[in-house]
Amino acid sequence: MDTAERFAGEHLPGGSGGVWRVESPGGEVRVHRPTGPWTPAVHELLRFLAERGLDGVPRVHGLDAEGREVLDYLPGDTLDPERTQADDAALAAAASWLRRFHDAVREFRPGPREWRQGVQDLAPGEVICHNDPGLYNWVVAEGRFAGMIDWDRAGPGRPLDDLAFLCWSGVPLLRPIPAADAARRLALAAAAYGGVGPAELLDAVDARMELIAQRWRDGIERGDPGTIALREAGIMDRHLARVRGFAGRRAEIRAAIAEDADERSGRAAGARPDGEGTR
């Protein structure tokens, strides 16, 4: 009996492979996914978030007879960052949700656990991050951001790095768009998240891209099958090419951020009562 017959469900596309959408006779829809040494820590995280009532997170329903994890199916669509751009409302909602996630998880201090990057504990300034909140992992229902899937790479990290990665494909920065649009959407995401400006967020993207490269190098050294599959599929080479392209556009985006800030400052000064702006 082949896998499709065992699961009698729909195979879902994606980088992980082996992911199935299964509907029970009672009408409940679940996702069955491969597991790894990191799965117990991820399930501990997801159960914590369920207890805190965070929306947009799949609930855990244990393992199936094949040893695959069973999670809620979040209805909606995922988006391809190569061809699709989320609208402003969805981008702002995703950034706002990420802030709620980070705020909730500040209370989650599990101690050393085996995550995708190996055994790790939280360092100062870190929380447990999603670590892969790219557009392809957003769930969008009727044009609205509805949740985040694919938690396999969750683990310790800086919240700003998570937001930077969300913007990498959510703005997007991984492919050329007009610099003014990139600056405006960075500012939109920064405002929705709170406590960070668009220029700081742009700088954080550079650091996050280097972190990805380092994690890939570490994953290959550990023999992580998912990381090796990314290399063999050419995804690493394509990503590095995108990073080089972004480096060539970064100065123009930074100038657009500064110009937008100057315009806002000028509008604010002009709105003051007569005389206030000259003191």
Q: Which of 78, 77, 80, 85 is nearest to 172 (CA)?
A: 85
Looking at the predicted structure, is the pLDDT value of residue 17 above 60? no
What are the structural domains, with CATH classification, of the chain? 3-72 (3.30.200), 88-268 (3.90.1200)
Looking at residue 239, what is its pLDDT?
86
Residues 6 or more apart whose Cβ sits within 8 Å of residue 68: 18, 20, 32, 33, 34, 35
Residue 268: pLDDT band with limits 50, 70, 90: low
Looking at the predicted structure, is the pLDDT value of residue 68 above 90? yes
pLDDT in tens, 29-45: 999 999 999 999 999 99
Looking at residue 274, what is its pLDDT?
57
Distances (CA, A) of 255 to 106, 144, 163, 180: 34, 31, 21, 9
Residue 261: pLDDT band with limits 50, 70, 90: confident
Looking at the predicted structure, is the pLDDT value of residue 10 above 50? yes
Looking at residue 7, what is its pLDDT?
46
Question: Using CA atoms, how far apart are residues 149 and 155, in angstroms rounded to an integer?
Answer: 15
Question: Residue type at 50?
Answer: A
Q: Which of 33-37, 47-51, 54-58, 270-274 is predicted least confidently?
A: 270-274
DSSP single-letter state for residue 115: E
What sign does the CA torsion over 184, 189, 193, 197 have? Answer: negative
Q: Which of 78-87, 158-167, 257-266 is predicted least confidently?
A: 257-266
CB atoms within 10 A of CB 111: 6
- Name the 3-class secondary structure at 174: coil
Looking at the predicted structure, is the pLDDT value of residue 178 above 90? yes
Looking at the predicted structure, is the pLDDT value of residue 215 above 90? no
In this prediction, residues 170-194 reach a mean pLDDT of 98
Q: Which of 24-28, 39-43, 144-148, 250-254 is predicted least confidently?
A: 24-28
> Helix 159-170 to helix 88-105 angle, to the nearest 10 degrees?
160
Looking at residue 8, what is its pLDDT?
53
In this prediction, residues 170-184 reach a mean pLDDT of 97
CB 147 within 8 A of CB 139: yes
Looking at the predicted structure, is the pLDDT value of residue 3 above 50? no
Looking at residue 213, what is its pLDDT?
81
Encoding tokens for residue 163?
Answer: 């937001």
Spacing of C-alpha 119 from chain mean position: 21
DSSP single-letter state for residue 169: H
pLDDT in tens, 196-213: 999 999 999 988 888 888
